[in-house]
Amino acid sequence: MKEQSVIDAARSLLYDQALVKFQGRYVGTVAAIPRHAGQDLNYNEIFIRDNVPTMIYLLLDGQGEIVRHFLDTCLELQSQKFPTVGIFPTSFVDIHGEIKVDYGQRAIGRVCSIDASLWWPILAYIYVQWTGDKEWVTNSKVQLGIQKFLDLFLHPGFRDAPTLYVPDGAFMIDRPLDVWGSPLEIQALLYGALKSSAALIAIDLEHKDYFNQGNALFEPFIQQQFYQLNLSINWLKNLRNYLLKHYWINSNIVQTLRRRPTEQYGDRIVNEYNIHTETIPNWLQEWLGQEGGYLIGNIRTGRPDFRFFSLGNCLGAIFDVMSNAQQSSFFQLIIKNQSQLLSEMPLRICHPPIEDIDWKSQTGYDRKNLPWSYHNGGHWPCLFWFLVLAVLRQKDKTEEMEQLLNIYYELLLQRLPKQQWAEYFDGPTGLWIGQQARSNQTWTIVGFLLAHHFLKVNPEDSKIMNLPSLMFLQQLNTINLF
Note the pLDDT tens digit of each residue in 74-95.
999 999 998 899 999 999 999 9
| DSSP track, 28-53 | EE-SB--SSTT-STTTTSEEHHHHHH
Three-class secondary structure of residue 236 per DSSP: helix
Average pLDDT over residues 254-275: 94
DSSP-assigned beta bridge partners for residue 377: 373
pLDDT tens for 217-248 read: 678 999 899 999 999 999 999 999 999 999 99
pTM, entire model: 0.97
Domains and CATH numbers, the chain: 3-474 (1.50.10.10)
Between CA 22 and CA 12 the distance in angstroms is 20
The length of the chain, given as a count of residues: 482
Q: Which pLDDT score is estimated for 111? A: 87
Average pLDDT over residues 5-29: 97
Percent residues over pLDDT 70 in the chain: 97
Average pLDDT over residues 51-64: 98
- pLDDT band at 478; cut points 50, 70, 90: low
Residue 413, pLDDT > 60, answer: yes
Whose CA is closest to 76, among 64, 88, 60? 88
Beta strands 350-351 and 308-309 are antiparallel
Between CA 421 and CA 270 the distance in angstroms is 48
- pLDDT band at 395; cut points 50, 70, 90: confident
**Is the omega angle on the peptide bond into residue 352 within 30 degrees of 0, that is, cis?**
yes
Q: Is the distance from CB of 104 to CB of 170 less than 8 angstroms? A: no
Q: Which pLDDT score is estimated for 214? A: 63
Between CA 336 and CA 333 the distance in angstroms is 5
Between CA 349 and CA 344 the distance in angstroms is 13
Q: Which pLDDT score is estimated for 481? A: 42
Q: Which pLDDT score is estimated for 108? A: 86
Residue 380, pLDDT > 50, answer: yes
pLDDT tens for 108-125 read: 889 889 999 999 999 999
Residue 299, pLDDT > 80, answer: yes
Q: Which pLDDT score is estimated for 210? A: 83
Q: Which pLDDT score is estimated for 35? A: 78
- pLDDT band at 184; cut points 50, 70, 90: very high
**Is the omega angle on the peptide bond into residue 304 within 30 degrees of 0, that is, cis?**
no
- pLDDT band at 211; cut points 50, 70, 90: confident
**Mean pLDDT value across the chain:** 94
Estimate the share of the chain in helix, then strand, then coil, as percent rounded to the nearest 5.
50, 10, 40
| Amino acid at position 110, single letter | R
